[in-house]
Amino acid sequence: MFLEPQETMPQTSVVFSSILGPSCSGQVQPGMGERGGGAGSGSGDLIFQDGRLISGSLEALMEHLVPTVDYYPDRTYIFTFLLSSRVFMPPHDLLARVGQICVEQRQHLEAGPEKAKLKSFSAKIVQLLKEWTEAFPYDFQDEKAMAELKAITHRVTQCDEENGTVKKAIAQMTQSLLLSLAARSQLQELREKLRPSAVDKGPILKTKPPAAQKDILGVCCDPLVLAQQLTHIELDRVSSIHPEDLMQIVSHMDSLDNHRCRGDLTKTYSLEAYDNWFNCLSMLVATEVCRVVKKKHRTRMLEFFIDVARECFNIGNFNSMMAIISGMNLSPVARLKKTWSKVKTAKFDVLEHHMDPSSNFCNYRTALQGATQRSQMANSSREKIVIPVFNLFVKDIYFLHKIHTNHLPNGHINFKKFWEISRQIHEFMTWTQVECPFEKDKKIQSYLLTAPIYSEEALFVASFESEGPENHMEKDSWKTLSFTVCPVCLFMKMCLYFLPEDQHSQVGVRGLIHGFRLDAHAVLLGGQLISTALFMPEVEKTRNWSPNHNEVTM
């Protein structure tokens, strides 16, 4: 639901207070003053409702950002406008316009009786720039933005020749900015190096690995410990997402999005990597279930992941919980009816109830609201954890952008919309700043991040091997998969063309793939393929057949 303007921005949380400051209601604050009507003032183009700014022209909103002698913008407005302005113009252009307004304000002061207040005005400009560089340091990675920043700071230091307090503040701001940019650059380089493993989640297996290979229960058999390690990974990955990255959800959909303050890859990589982590966790859950040969062990594996998902819910890690449920609901796992019949599903039913998509995930949103309230009143770091389902958060931003226009009929920017987008992004960023209180287990995390996962085709093959196809559709899928899932089958297809047409035969091809053996079996009649089978000798030891045998190693 779209909130009324007076409800859109709650008081700033403790976590973000260093960025937004203590005054964050979005209203005009006592003692802050009203924006002056200096040269070229567009303040008359701003519309307020109950003391809350709800719309205005772009020029008036930019002027409202710049301080005057008697006015300093509300810190929530600074954050919201700096975040949303990139939908309409790149940050370096906004910075250039801020510089022009500063020049106009200075000229107005120098020509009037308030010349003595010039130093106070300069200090406020430096404070604005400080808040900008702290909240959105990546805006200044662009050379044009850095040049504009230097130009503005050069102008404001000209009135500080006596004691140099403004110069000192600028020097500290610049040093902090450069350190922040260097740290983020190093982190980005590291993530680029690790990008293949982070996105692909280790090797993608197209066939079942050897039975002796370790599974998740061999690494961690405690659901609570695994849920804690998943929370570690979630918080580590989500911490690389910044407010301007999330704003790309809006600007990528906008027809005005021809400008970017950073390259597309850099801008969206953190979002893509986090989204890929969800998909990889779902596939890992499905792989761990489908790879198990014995039904009793598959049942234990399903019950284990149900318990892990429940522990994630109790922690407040809804993203991992949803990924685990999604993995168990994938078709290759969901179709294992004989296995599921042995599972105690009462806990799973409760989890699915929380993630019921009806009424726009009403049950999940109620649980999320409860976790948020717990976090706000938390006495311990464990109670502060809130990790929402990222895909649903993205959808909320998407629909908020789609339902409400950027501009009103009178040409004003619909700032009420951007208050709400900013509120949701601000709340999300607050959650990402929580430090994980659980002890890190490198062995478990290494398995979660690098364990091989099945391709979609291999999941179905493993599923059909565990419980055979039950209907015509599954049988057709099984036949198709038998000839597409591995290179051995492709080799066998080629062999068929070289057989005499009058030969009634069975053809077998045995191959070694990734160090383990796989057999493919085909039955021909008059040179026509009438039956196929694909199985692992380790599993199908009871099948004895004596075909015209061809040995291959791949």
Q: What is d(CA 244, CA 82) in angstroms, rounded to the nearest whole number?
A: 9
Phi and psi at 521, nearest 5°, equal -130, 130
The fourth-level CATH superfamily of domain 46-191 is Son of sevenless (SoS) protein Chain: S domain 1 (1.20.870.10)
CA distances from 543 to 109, 461, 463, 512, 521 (A): 94, 18, 19, 19, 11
pTM: 0.76
Residue burial 194-225, b: 16+ Cβ < 10 Å; e: rest: eeeebeebbeebbbbbeeeeebbeebbeebbb
Q: How many CB atoms lie within 10 A of CB 494?
A: 10
Q: What does the DSSP 8-state code read for residue 453? A: E
Q: Coil, helix or strand for 462?
A: helix
Q: What is d(CA 27, CA 52) in angstroms, rounded to the nearest whole number?
A: 5
Q: What is d(CA 253, CA 402) in angstroms, rounded to the nearest whole number?
A: 9
The answer to whether 404 and 421 have CB atoms below 8 angstroms apart is no
> What pLDDT score was predicted for residue 483?
59
Q: How many CB atoms lie within 10 A of CB 233?
A: 19
- Per domain, the residue ranges of the chain are 46-191, 215-255+268-460, 486-538
**Stretch (H or E) spanning 418:** helix 415-432
Residue burial 61-95, b: 16+ Cβ < 10 Å; e: rest: bbbbbbbbbebbbbbbbbbbbbbbbbbbbbbbbbb
Fold of 215-255+268-460: Son of Sevenless (SoS) protein; Chain S, domain 2 (1.10.840)
Q: What does the DSSP 8-state code read for residue 352? A: H
> What pLDDT score was predicted for residue 545?
38
Model confidence pLDDT, tens digit, residues 352-372? 999 999 999 999 999 999 999
> What pLDDT score was predicted for residue 240?
86
Taking Cα atoms as reference points, which of 364, 363, 393, 279 lies closest to residue 326?
Answer: 279
Phi and psi at 454, nearest 5°, equal -75, 150
CA distances from 329 to 73, 201, 322, 449 (A): 50, 20, 10, 21
Q: Which runs of consecutive H residues, i.e. helices, occur in 66-164?
A: 75-84, 91-111, 118-135, 143-157
Q: What is d(CA 197, CA 450) in angstroms, rounded to the nearest whole number?
A: 7
Tokens of 349: 């039913």
Q: Rg (Cα) of the chain, in Å, rounded? A: 30
CA distances from 534 to 207, 259, 461 (A): 10, 53, 9
Taking Cα atoms as reference points, which of 334, 303, 261 lies closest to residue 82?
Answer: 261
Q: Length of the chain, please?
A: 554
Segments of the chain with pLDDT less than 50: 1-32, 36-42, 195-202, 255-266, 486-499, 501-554
Tokens of 35: 């924006």
DSSP string, 277-319: HHHHHHHHHHHHHHT--SHHHHHHHHHHHHHHHHHHHHHTBHH
> What pLDDT score was predicted for residue 538?
40
534 forms beta bridges with 520
Q: What is d(CA 149, CA 143) in angstroms, rounded to the nearest whole number?
A: 10
Tokens of 247: 């704003």
Between 91-111 and 118-135, two packed helices, what is the crossing angle to 10 degrees? 170
> What pLDDT score was predicted for residue 472?
79
Q: Which runs of consecutive H residues, i.e. helices, occur in 497-553?
A: none
The answer to whether 537 and 207 have CB atoms below 8 angstroms apart is no
Q: How many CB atoms lie within 10 A of CB 341?
A: 10
In this chain, the answer to whether the domains covering 46-191 and 215-255+268-460 adopt an identical fold is: no
The answer to whether 511 and 490 have CB atoms below 8 angstroms apart is no
